[in-house]
Amino acid sequence: MNKIIKGIMNACALILLLANEVAAQDAETSLFRKEGKIYVVIGIMLLILSGLTAYLIHIERRTKKLEDQIKKGRS
Amino acid sequence: MKNVWWKVLAVLLIGYALSAGLLIGIPNLAMNSILEETIRNLFYHVPMWFGMNILMIVSVIYAIRYLKNGQEKDDFASVEFANVAVLFGILGALTGSFWARFTWGQFWPNDAKLNGAGIGLLIYLAYLILRSGIEEPNKRARVSAVYNVFAFPVFVVLIWILPRLNDSLHPGNGGNPGFSSYDIDQNMRMVFYPAVAGWTLMGVWYASLKIRLRKIESAENV
């Protein structure tokens, strides 16, 4: 349980950090407006990667469910 | 939820390689050659081939294990690792072809490495077709395991050895130095090797899922 709370806290901190970045209008202080906005591209690539990963995890869960059903059917 | 660490590692390594691959500085030498910014494809295109090779080695090991023990699960592992390896190979060929168009000028220049890789992929496709052509499971597993053991060395010769004996456009072949000639390297290696490790682990993840699905299918058939 502690682990879950910790994870949620970390996620919140990350979102706050991100919001701060997006809100900052100053080119010098905002990560996403520096370096010709290349970090925006990286953000999008990482979003796609996490989407694909989430889908993979989804398939894995399905597989696990099927495996459990078969095990149950045997015993 | 045990044994998830390597899946997390795979995603983190790929995430790192995708980002750092765009961010790190590239050597001036590359900017002044036909490569320019495309040298960054080292972090995206090349890991496909390296990953494919590692996955093929795993496939051969399982094929040998099957020949020793005759256990169905080794056959499943062997074929699914080969499947993912072929997927990586096709992605490598497509990305390489695209890259070649804008550096060497053609989608498929007549090059020892490209043709070797093309033939090699056909050998592996033949392996997959051979499997689908044999009905009896034990026979299928045995024949394809033997084929696998022979196909792998041929593949290695086709893409690693013959291109080095001939002239090739690819770096590191036919007296053509590898990317190490573009000085930097230490920096680029710090992205390239994690990329290879990450994509390989991702390939293992794909294969492991398909192996489990095969086991489920075979359990239902019994």
The pLDDT of residue B147 is 95
Q: Is the pLDDT of residue A25 over 90?
A: no
Length of chain B: 222
Q: The complex's ipTM?
A: 0.71
As given in the structure block, the two tokens for residue A34 are 């520096």
The pLDDT of residue B3 is 82
Indicate the residue of B19, B212, B220 with minimum beta-carbon distance to A63. B212
As given in the structure block, the two tokens for residue B203 are 């390939």
Give mean pLDDT in consecutive 10-residue pieces for chain B, a chain of 222 residues. Answer: 84 93 81 80 92 96 96 94 94 91 87 90 94 92 95 91 77 60 69 94 94 88 55
Distance (Å, whole) CA B198 – CA B191: 11
As given in the structure block, the two tokens for residue B157 are 């010769």
As given in the structure block, the two tokens for residue B136 are 């009896």
Give the gap in angstroms from C-alpha B23 to the nearest C-alpha of chain A. Answer: 8
* A interface with B, Cβ–Cβ below 8 Å: 35, 38, 41-42, 45-46, 49-50, 53, 56, 59-60, 63, 66-67, 70
Identify the band that residue A33 occupies on the pLDDT scale cut at 50, 70 and 90.
confident
Beta bridge pairs of residue B176: B173
pLDDT tens-digit series, residues A44-72: 889 889 989 998 999 999 999 998 988 88
Distance (Å, whole) CA A68 – CA B30: 54
Q: Which amino acid is at B85?
A: A
* Residues in chain A closer than 8 A to B215 (CB atoms): 67
Beta bridge pairs of residue B173: B176
Rg (CA), chain A: 20
| Contact yes or no for B24/A51 (Cβ under 8 A) | no
- Number of other CB atoms surrounding residue B61 within 10 Å: 17
Q: What separation in angstroms does the CA of A11 have from each of A6, A8, A20, B63, B128?
A: 9, 5, 14, 44, 44
The pLDDT of residue B221 is 60
pTM of the shown model:
0.83
Measured between its terminal Cα atoms, the distance across chain B in Å is 29
As given in the structure block, the two tokens for residue B79 are 């074929």
* B interface with A, Cβ–Cβ below 8 Å: 11, 14-15, 18-19, 22-23, 205-206, 209, 212-213, 215-216, 219-220
Q: At what angle do helices B46-69 and B72-103 cross, to 10 degrees?
A: 160
The pLDDT of residue A23 is 64
Give mean pLDDT, residues A4-14.
72
Average pLDDT, chain A: 78
- Phi/psi of residue A24, nearest 5 degrees: -65, 120
Distance (Å, whole) CA B39 – CA B42: 6
| Contact yes or no for B103/B38 (Cβ under 8 A) | yes
As given in the structure block, the two tokens for residue A17 are 């950090």
- Number of other CB atoms surrounding residue A74 within 10 Å: 7
The pLDDT of residue A4 is 65
